[in-house]
Amino acid sequence: MISPINEPAGLLDFSSKLIRWYHRHHRDLPWRHTNDPYRIWLSEVILQQTRVAQGMPYYLRFVEQYPTLRDLAAADEKEVLRLWQGLGYYSRARNMHQTARLIVQELGGNFPASYAELIKLKGIGAYTAAAIASFAYNEPVAAVDGNVYRVLARIFGIKTDITSSGARKEFTALAQQLLPPDDAATFNQATIEFGAIQCQPVAPDCLLCPFNDVCYAFAHGAQAQLPVKGKKNKVRDRYLNYFVVEKEGRLALRERTTKDVWQGMYDFYLIEAAEETTDLNELESDHVLAHWLEMGEVVRTAGPYVHLLTHQRLYARFWHLRMPPERSLLLPDNMAFYNQEEVEELPKPVLINSYLIQYFFS
Ligand code: SF4
C-alpha cells in the first residue's frame, strides 16, 4: 500500500479530493435528483445489470408507468416483466415487485429508512441497502459495488481476490473508514462515479487522475492486474428446441413457471436436448410433439441462435409448425393461443422476441 494515503490526514484528503472530483465531473442522471428511496432502489436494480445508457430508458419508462412504490405494488406481475423485457435477470424484477407489495401490505407503504431494515428485504443485498440508506437518508454506510472494488484495489494496492468470501468485508471496512460521516451520499456516489468514468476497467485515465501521485496501480503499472478476480464460473451449454405452433394466425405460448431462467416470462413449447440436433426424429419420443407432427407440418426451421446468459450459453433452434384450422389441438398445461396483439403484450425473453420480430410481427 502507498503510505501517505494510509495516514489519517491522507484518508481525509482522499475523501475531499474524491468529492471535489465528483462535483466537477459527475454525470447529470435523473436518479441523482431525488431522495425518494423507491426511485433510488429502482435505479440501482436497473444499473446492476446494465450500463447507464442502456438502463436510462428503462428507468424513465418505469417511473412514468409506476411513479410511486404503491403504483408498482398495485401492478400486475406480467406488466412489470413486460416493461423489464430486454434487461435480463428477470428474477430481480419479480423480487422488486414482490418487495414493493410487502412494503405496502405489511409496512403501511413506509419504505424502511435504515440499512439494517433495508437488508432484511427480499432482493436487497448489502450494496443496494447501503446505496438506498446513504442516497435517500444520508446514513453513513459505505456502498461497495464493482466500481468501488476497482478504485480501492488500484489506489491502495489491495490484492485480495474480489470474488473470495472475505473480500466484501475487507473492502467495505476500508470504504467505511474513508467515508466522511456527514456526507455519505456524496462520497458513495463519488466513488462509484469515479470507477465508472475515470478509473475504468480497461482504459483508466491515469494521466488526468487526481490520485496518480499516490495510486499503487499507477506507480507499479498494475492497472490491468487490479482488482484481482478469481476464475470465472464455468459456462454451461444448453440446447433448446422451440416449437412455434401456429393456428389461424395465432401462436401457442406458455408461461415459464419452473425455477429456471426466465421464470414468469412466456416462450414456446420447449424440448431441451443433451446436444444440438437438426433431426426431428430424435425428438419425437416427446408425445406432445408427436401429436402435433401428426396434425400439422413444419413450415420453417431457424437457428441455431446463440444467446449468452451469465452462466449459460443457449443454442436455440426454432421449428415452426402450422396447424390446419379445422382440427382441435391438445395443448399442455400453461399453454394457450394468443393473437398477434396479445403476443406483443406478453413478457418474453429477448431470444423469443427476436424470433417473433423476424418471422411473426409484421
Ligand atoms: S491513477 Fe489510474 S489506476 Fe490509479 S486511481 Fe487514477 S485512474 Fe485509477
pLDDT at residue 9 greater than cutoff 60: no
> Do residues 106 and 155 touch, judged by C-beta distance below 8 A?
no
User: What pLDDT band is residue 277 in, cutting at 50, 70 and 90?
Assistant: confident
Range from 96-100, 185-189, 244-248, 328-332 carrying the lowest mean pLDDT: 328-332
pLDDT for res 329: 85
Distance CA 85, CA 70 (A): 21
CA distance 331 to 101: 33
Q: Is 3-220 in CATH node 2.40.50.100?
A: no
- pLDDT for 88: 84
Task: Pick from 21, 192, 198, 206 the residue to mutate for probing ligand 1's pocket: most ligand atoms within 8 Å of its CB.
Answer: 206
Specify the pLDDT at position 8.
46
Length of the chain: 362
Please say if 276 is a catalytic residue.
no
What would the mean pLDDT of 193-220 be, rounded to a whole number? 95
Which atom of ligand 1 lies closest to the CA of 212? 1
pLDDT of 245 > 50? The answer is: yes
Confidence of residue 11 (pLDDT cuts 50, 70, 90): low
* Ligand 1 centroid to residue 193 C-alpha, Å: 13
Q: What does the pLDDT look like over 167-198, one tens digit per residue?
A: 999 999 999 999 999 999 999 999 999 999 99
- Name the most confidently modeled range: 10-14, 31-35, 72-76: 72-76
Dihedrals phi, psi of 353, to nearest 5 degrees: -65, -35
Centre of ligand 1 to C-alpha 161, Å, is 19
| CB of residue 223 inside a 6 A radius of ligand 1 | yes
pLDDT level of residue 1 (50, 70, 90 thresholds): very low
**Probe target for ligand 1 pocket from 209, 213, 216, 225, with the most ligand atoms within 8 Å of CB:** 209
Tell me which DSSP letter residue 55 carries.
H
Q: Decide if pLDDT at 3 tops 50.
A: no
- Reduced to 3 states (helix: H, G, I; strand: E, B; else coil), residue 104 is helix
For the cut 80, the answer to whether the pLDDT of residue 232 exceeds it is no
Q: Which atom of ligand 1 is nearest to the CA of 216?
A: 4
Mean pLDDT, all residues of the chain: 91
- Average pLDDT of the segment spanning 242-254: 94
Residue 339 has pLDDT above 90, yes or no: yes
C-alpha cell at 89: 435477470
Q: Tell which CATH classification among 3.40.710.10, 3.90.79.10, 3.10.20.30, 3.40.50.300 matches the domain 236-359.
A: 3.90.79.10
Give yes or no for residue 292 CB within 6 A of ligand 1.
no
Pick 310 or 324 by higher pLDDT. Answer: 324
pLDDT bin (cut points 50, 70, 90) of residue 260 is: confident
With a cut of 50, say whether residue 302 has pLDDT above it: yes
How far is residue 103's CA from residue 100's CA, in Å, rounded to a whole number? 5
pLDDT in the model for residue 330? 83
- Ligand 1 in reach of 206 Cβ (< 6 A): yes
How sure is the predictor about 31, in pLDDT bands with cuts at 50, 70 and 90? very high
- Domain boundaries defined on the chain: 3-220, 236-359
The grid coordinates of residue 291 equal: 401429436
149 has pLDDT over 60:
yes
Q: Is 4's pLDDT higher than 70?
A: no
Ligand 1 in contact with 205 (CB < 6 A)? yes
Percent of the chain with pLDDT over 90: 75
The candidate with the shortest Cα–Cα distance to 268, out of 287, 244, 247, is: 244
Q: Which of 104-108, 116-120, 185-189, 333-337 has the lowest mean pLDDT?
A: 333-337
Mean pLDDT of 263-269: 92
